[in-house]
Amino acid sequence: MGMKVLLVGGGGREHALAWKIAQSPLVEQLWCAPGNPGIAHHAECVPIQAEALDELTAFAVEQAIDLAVIGPEGPLALGLSDRLRERGIPVFGPSMAAAQLEGSKAFMKDLLARHAIATAAYRTFRDPAEARAYVEEQGAPIVVKTSGLAAGKGAIVCSTLEEAHEAIDRIMVAREFGSAGDEIVVEGFLKGEEASLLAFVDGERVLPLAGAQDHKAIFDGDLGPNTGGMGAYSPAPCLTPAMVERAVAEIILPTVRGMAAEGYPYRGILYAGLMIDGDDLRILEYNVRFGDPECQPLLMRMRSDIIPYLLACANGSLAGMTIDWDPRAALCVVMAAQGYPGNYPKGAAIEGLDRAAEVADTMVFHAGTRAHAGAIVTAGGRVLGVTALGLGVAAAQERAYEAVARIDWSGVQYRRDIGYRAVARERS
């Protein structure tokens, strides 16, 4: 009897997870709630929203689900994994208490401070006047962040004091990010190269994945406002094996041990956003789920069946496991709607998906799409994640853009330089 798996979410990360989970010989049936038209190729989509905790729990119990895999941070922060575990369902994803690592930047920074883990200097504020006074005292550049969840868009890097005051106003006065901005974190600006190291965690043990790097800014050359991520690639040249070992020993493992010691053991995937400057290594932020779009290139490179790792995290049994990686590089280009990360139209018909699918070693992951009148139309800010494998980042980049060039809709926008740092390194 094969396993019954429920995947929660409907974005690009979940399409990559559905694609990977569906390949497992251990899985008999895969449901995804709510899913999307891309996910529908690999799973049975169920019309239940990712944050509808009662309905998801009832569905999981009714179908006698053997493993629930929670993709996005929203349902984790609301406590979906606790609800499912109470009903005896194994869950890949942290508890509500452990999900505060992402749900509250203040919680995360305080935890790091208590366990002497290297990060940027910071203070938290609930009063805009006090925050402004602190900014004046510190000077620029400086970083202003919402403490709560803001879909990856709540961190504002300010190069002048004027920009810092404006950021405080946007978050705390104009309430641009709603209640996510009730509390803010103001922290020192760290220079260096940013990289993402994700790790499977079973409550006490840590198994790192391959390194990855993403591009947050909307425009080429890392210019313009931050987004949820416009592209990513793996491996990341700055995450050498020695640096990965240090990151696990100095940052991830002490965090996991600290969480367990304080009574909220962490189980699931832990995403560490690292800043590397020569020998200086610090943690910028944690996410409590697979990065989107880092998940797409990472899972394309992962040769091992994913199910044993998801189960091991759920059951506390990662000991002795290793992961088999494709030695090739993978690169993902996000195709977004016109206007994103601001307001954007929906409902534009997407053309060329079939032609893009013909490019070898390439997957087009659906992020914000829906089926309408026999067509696939745009339904989100980030619409597709076109991901390709190649013998090096330059080759993966070339192949991904070959597929991107075959896809079109009215107002499509995407960066044309994803992976540029790694490509320059390869060429030099």
Domain 121-188 has CATH 3.30.1490.20: yes
| Cβ atoms < 10 Å from Cβ of 204 | 16
Degrees, nearest 5: CA angle 203-204-208:
95
Beta bridge partners of 333: 231, 386
User: Lowest-pLDDT range, 170-174, 199-203, 258-262, 361-365?
Assistant: 170-174
Confidence (pLDDT) at 428: 86
Per-domain residue ranges of the chain: 3-97, 121-188, 193-315, 329-427
User: Lowest-pLDDT range, 208-212, 393-397, 414-418, 422-426?
Assistant: 422-426
Order of strands, edge to edge, in the sheet holding 67-70? 44-45, 27-34, 3-9, 67-70, 91-92
- Give the residue-averaged pLDDT of 207-214: 96
| Cβ atoms < 10 Å from Cβ of 110 | 14
pLDDT in tens, 366-398: 999 999 999 999 999 999 999 999 999 999 999
**Fold (CATH) for 3-97:** Rossmann fold (3.40.50)
Residue 115 in this model has a pLDDT that exceeds 90: yes
* pLDDT band at residue 180 under the 50/70/90 scheme: confident
Residue 152 in this model has a pLDDT that exceeds 70: no
Instruction: Read off the pTM.
Output: 0.93
Residue 264 in this model has a pLDDT that exceeds 90: yes
Burial class of residue 1, CB neighbours in 10 A (0-12, 13-18, 19+): exposed
Confidence (pLDDT) at 64: 98
* pLDDT band at residue 129 under the 50/70/90 scheme: confident
Confidence (pLDDT) at 139: 85
Residue 137 in this model has a pLDDT that exceeds 90: no
* pLDDT band at residue 124 under the 50/70/90 scheme: confident
Domain 329-427 has CATH 1.10.260.40: no
pLDDT in tens, 23-74: 999 999 999 999 999 999 999 999 999 999 999 999 999 999 999 999 999 9
Confidence (pLDDT) at 96: 97
Residue 151 in this model has a pLDDT that exceeds 90: no
Q: What one-character-per-residue DSSP string does 2-70 give?
A: -EEEEEEE-SHHHHHHHHHHHT-TTEEEEEEEE--TTGGGTSEE----TT-HHHHHHHHHHTT-SEEEE
The residue among 287, 262, 289, 411 whose CA lies nearest residue 351 is: 411
Domain 193-315 has CATH 3.40.50.300: no
CA-to-CA dists, residue 167 to 24, 157, 175, 194, 402, angstroms: 46, 9, 11, 22, 38
Residue 112 in this model has a pLDDT that exceeds 90: yes
Confidence (pLDDT) at 154: 78
- Give the residue-averaged pLDDT of 123-148: 87
As a dihedral over the C-alpha atoms of residue 231, residue 234, residue 240, residue 242, rounded to 10 degrees, the angle is 110
Q: Do domains 3-97 and 329-427 have the same CATH topology?
A: no
Residue 313 in this model has a pLDDT that exceeds 90: yes
User: Lowest-pLDDT range, 49-63, 77-91, 167-181, 306-320?
Assistant: 167-181
Mean pLDDT of the chain: 94
Residue 105 in this model has a pLDDT that exceeds 70: yes
